[in-house]
Amino acid sequence: MRIRGFWGLISVALWVACTLLPARAASVEVTWVELADLTGPVAGLDVPGTMGLEDYIKDINAKGGVDGVRVKFTCVDTRYDVARALSSFKRYRREDSVLAIGIVSTPLGKMLKEIMGKEKMVITVPGDGEFQAHIGNFFTWGPTYQDAFAAAMDWVLQDWQKQGRAGSPLVGYLAWDSPYGKEPLRGGKQYAEKLGIGLLPPEFFPSGTPKHDVYLSRIEAAGANYVYVACVDPAPTNIMRDATAMGLTKKIQFISDYWGPTTLGVGTHPDAVERMVIVSFFLRGEEAQSHPLIKRIWSTYRKEPIEKMNEMYGNGIVWGMNLEAALRDAIKGVGANKLSREILYESYQRLTGMSREGINGPCAYSQTSRRGSDQVRFYRCMNGKLLSISDWVKTPDAVALHSW
CA 116 distance to own-chain centroid: 21
Q: Which fold has domain 27-142+289-373?
A: Rossmann fold (3.40.50)
Residues 346 and 366: their CA atoms lie apart, in Å, by 9
**Whether residue 261 has a cis bond before it, omega within 30° of 0:** no
Q: Concatenated DSSP letters for 87-107?
A: HHHHHHHT-TTEEEEEE--HH
- By DSSP bridging, strand 375-382 and strand 393-394 are antiparallel
Tell me the sheet residues that pair with 32: 73, 100
**Farthest CA pair distance, the chain:** 104
Report the chain's terminal Cα–Cα distance, integer Å: 81
Q: Pick from 321, 404, 304, 302: which is nearest to 359 by CA?
A: 321
* Alpha-carbon distances of 176 from 87, 169, 208, 335, 378, rounded to whole Å: 25, 23, 9, 46, 22
> CB-based burial of residue 93 (10 Å sphere; 0-12 exposed, 13-18 middle, 19+ buried)?
middle
pLDDT tens digits, the chain, 404 residues: what are they? 444 554 454 454 444 444 444 433 447 999 999 999 999 899 988 999 999 999 999 999 999 999 999 999 999 999 999 999 999 999 999 999 999 999 998 889 989 988 888 899 999 999 999 999 999 999 999 999 999 999 999 999 999 999 999 999 999 999 999 999 999 999 999 999 999 999 999 999 999 999 999 999 999 999 999 999 999 999 999 999 999 999 999 999 999 999 999 999 899 889 999 999 999 999 999 999 999 999 999 999 999 999 999 999 999 999 999 999 999 999 999 999 999 999 999 999 999 999 999 999 999 999 999 999 999 999 999 999 999 999 999 999 999 999 99
pLDDT, residue 5, reads 53
pLDDT, residue 110, reads 87
Tell me the sheet residues that pair with 205: 176
Asked whether 182 and 228 are in contact (CB, 8 A), the reply is no
Domain with CATH 3.40.50.2300 in the chain: 27-142+289-373, 146-280+377-401
- Name 336's Cβ contacts closer than 8 Å, sequence gap at least 6: 25, 28, 67, 68, 69
Asked whether 103 and 35 are in contact (CB, 8 A), the reply is yes
Asked whether 69 and 327 are in contact (CB, 8 A), the reply is yes
- Name 366's Cβ contacts closer than 8 Å, sequence gap at least 6: 349, 350, 352
Where does 146-280+377-401 sit in CATH, by number? 3.40.50.2300
pLDDT, residue 106, reads 87
